[in-house]
Amino acid sequence: MESPALSPQADDYCFHCGQCVSACPTGALSSSDIDIKDCKEIADDLKITAEQALQFVRSRRSIRNFTKEKIDQKTMYELIRNASYAPTGGNFQGVKWIVIDDQEKIKRISDMIKGFLEEMVKLPGNEVLLPANSIGSSDDYVFWDAPAVVIAYCDNPIDYRIALTYLDLCAHGMGLGVCWAGYFNFALRADHPGLKEAAGIPADCENYYPAMVGHPDERVKYYRMPPRKEPKIRFI
Ligand SMILES: Cc1cc2nc3c(=O)[nH]c(=O)nc-3n(C[C@H](O)[C@H](O)[C@H](O)COP(=O)(O)O)c2cc1C
């Protein structure tokens, strides 16, 4: 018997998101560019309870204490591969990644940003807040001595943010640590000379966000989940 397949007209409108293949109970359907053999089955014994899922989401923290251990490229690939399961508009999957894992380069970028920030805070009406006692110190308060900085970027103005959020959550699941790099982003948006180029972000790209990634220093343990503000909701 012939395997079920999309009609050619339906294929013209298809996002290739894999919805049909994943919902086919018998595993008989392949779409024009998704082979059923590439679709790992959802294992019942790996499903987590609602309680486990909630603890996972609520216990994620921004990590600012890293070990000196580098993240090998295979692990970094795995992390980004997992983050690639983030939803994208029209299933476009256009998010690209830059990984900076050269310590000298990270230090050079951090020093550029620190120089910029420490000039900014002197300006009247400035609203930049730096960590206590940071001005003039050798502390890396930009990247917290992380062994890697990752930048997500794409044409779509939303997708890279969702992808980086997935990266943050996937890192939590893989025992890695992430912290979004707001100071870096701030200096990039202010067009600090040479920074975008040093970061490898294409000159015409405006849709990007950086984060630092590393192995969390186990000496800093988290025992509880602090509360968050009550959500403001209007049901209409
Ligand atoms: C867009 C964004 C930018 C951030 N920038 C920085 C930063 O530059 N440095 C830093 O230490 N933390 C930064 N953070 C982490 C926040 O301070 C942190 O998410 C917040 O305090 C809540 O803590 P939690 O992430 O551990 O739940 C950033 C977070 C976001 C979402």
Residue 119 vs residues 108, 115, 123, 129, 233: alpha-carbon distances, Å: 17, 6, 7, 12, 40
Homologous superfamily of the 48-214 domain (CATH)? NADH Oxidase (3.40.109.10)
What the block records as the tokens of 89 is 């508009």
Q: Are strands 96-100 and 148-153 parallel, antiparallel or unpaired?
A: antiparallel
**What average pLDDT values come out for the chain (236 residues) when binned by 10 residues?**
73 85 85 83 96 98 97 98 97 97 98 95 89 90 98 98 98 98 97 97 98 97 96 98
Question: How far, in Å, from the CA of 51 to the mean position of ligand 1?
Answer: 25
Sign of dihedral through CA atoms 128, 184, 66, 102?
negative
DSSP state of 66: B
Question: How far, in Å, from the CA of 130 to the mean position of ligand 1?
Answer: 13
One-letter amino acid for residue 89 of the chain = G
Is the shortest distance between the CB of 150 and ligand 1 below 6 Å?
Answer: no
In whole angstroms, give the CA distance from residue 207 to residue 164.
Answer: 12
Q: What would the pLDDT profile of 38-50 be if each residue is shown by its tens digit?
A: 899 999 999 999 9
Residues in Cβ contact with 83 at an 8 Å cutoff, skipping those fewer than 6 apart? 152, 163, 164, 166, 167, 170
pLDDT for the residue numbered 126: 87
Residues in Cβ contact with 113 at an 8 Å cutoff, skipping those fewer than 6 apart? 142, 183, 184, 187, 192, 195
Q: What stretch(es) of the chain map to CATH 3.40.109.10?
A: 48-214
Q: For a pocket test of ligand 1, which of 180, 184, 221, 223 has the largest count of ligand atoms closer than 8 A to its C-beta?
A: 180
In whole angstroms, give the CA distance from residue 81 to residue 83.
Answer: 5
In whole angstroms, give the CA distance from residue 215 to residue 210.
Answer: 17
Residues in Cβ contact with 22 at an 8 Å cutoff, skipping those fewer than 6 apart? 39
